[in-house]
Amino acid sequence: MTIVLGIESTAHTFGVGVVKDGKILANIKKTYTTESGGIIPSEAGKHHNENKEKIYSDALNVANIDDKDIDAIAFSQGPGLSPCLLVGLRFAKQLSEKLKKPIVPVNHCIAHLEIGKTTNAKDPVMLYTSGANTQIIAYSSGKYRIFGETLDLGVGNFIDTFARLIGVGFPGGPAIQKLAEQGKNYIELPYVVKGMDISLSGILTNLKQKYESKKYKIEDLCYSLQETVFAMLIETAERALAHTGKKELLLGGGVACNSRLQEMCKIMCGERGAKLFVPSRDVLVDNGAMIAYLGEIMFNSGIKFFGKKADELDIKPRQRTDEVEVSWKN
């Protein structure tokens, strides 16, 4: 029996999760939000610092455990924003010292994929679409590999930027989805797939010009944005399924809350005899439970940092998914 605590702090969410033998006992989080404009990393870091103790004690209460019951402390090592990541790292070190328990450093993107297994996916291709990240990831030949990704903006940031331009606030995803549902006319937009990768900045410029020309209905622009960009995601995800021969598609990241994206994924999977897995919102967006979940798997395989080795651990703001040494899987 193992109990692992997981700390998530890569971007705007500070979360603490508790997992016992693969079961989520608690998943508490608080998200830094802004009225307008994007995330200010130092402000988000401050937010995490101010909230960490309370989120930690709430997580222990919900899990109904004592701090002495914790076997290891996992934290998000990267990728992410340095001021935010540092709060997680320092908190993990502080707890490790206090509780005399080891630290397990976890890659955020792989955690998104692994937590998907609680939905019963066994060996999926993951379409990971969040604010900062857009990647298609799957485990293959000893590593988690990136089969395709955005060459510039994350799809969530792309949607949020357009939402800001048209004045519907942050986060833009839900508002754009609502407007899109009222759109009827498809307006031609650039469709930018390069090999297995996608690019969004040219589409954003094109949308801006169309919006400023005042010739189009805003609902139609939102509808066309979703249809175009989601089709690009589906095309590359489908090719990753074909290439790997895998039969499961797993969604991860906040943009996967979009019901039109889910619908399009379902149609594509249906057409090629694959199965779609959509985790519940709690574990789809950034959260501490996914860090605890993967942390427990890594810990049980013998990955643990203690004492001087723990002191030497650092954040990895630009860590790439395929850079991670995967010694915990066989």
Q: Is the CB of 121 or the CB of 175 nearer to ligand ATP?
A: 175
Question: Which of 107, 130, 161, 236: binder of ligand ATP (CB under 6 A)?
Answer: 130
Q: Is the CB of 101 or the CB of 112 nearer to Fe ion?
A: 112
45 binds ligand ATP (CB under 6 A): no
Number of residues lying near Fe ion (CB under 5 A): 2
286 binds Fe ion (CB under 5 A): yes
Q: Is the CB of 109 or the CB of 303 nearer to ligand ATP?
A: 109
25 binds ligand ATP (CB under 6 A): no
Amino acid at 8: E
Q: Which of Fe ion, ligand ATP, none is residue 17 near (CB under 5 to 8 Å by kind)?
A: none
Distance in angstroms (rounded) separating the CA atoms of residues 250 and 258: 14
Q: Which of Fe ion, ligand ATP, none is residue 197 near (CB under 5 to 8 Å by kind)?
A: none
Q: Is the CB of 30 or the CB of 101 nearer to ligand ATP?
A: 30
Touching ligand ATP, residues 151-190 (CB under 6 A): 154, 156, 159-160, 171-174, 177
Question: Which of 15, 88, 105, 254: binder of ligand ATP (CB under 6 A)?
Answer: 254
Q: Is the CB of 29 or the CB of 210 nearer to Fe ion?
A: 29
Helix then strand count (H, E) for the chain reads 11, 12
Question: Which of 257, 265, 276, 298: binder of ligand ATP (CB under 6 A)?
Answer: 257
Minimum separation from the CB atom of position 49 to ligand ATP (A):
18
Question: Which of 9, 107, 129, 130: binder of Fe ion (CB under 5 A)?
Answer: 130
Match 């090999």 to its residue by tokens: 195
Choose the binding region for ligand ATP from 7-15, 113-121, 296-304, 320-328 (rule: CB under 6 A).
7-15
Distance in angstroms (rounded) separating the CA atoms of residues 16 and 9: 9
Applying CB under 5 A, the residues found at the interface with Fe ion are 130, 286
Applying CB under 6 A, the residues found at the interface with ligand ATP are 10-13, 130-133, 154, 156, 159-160, 171-174, 177, 253-255, 257-258, 285-286
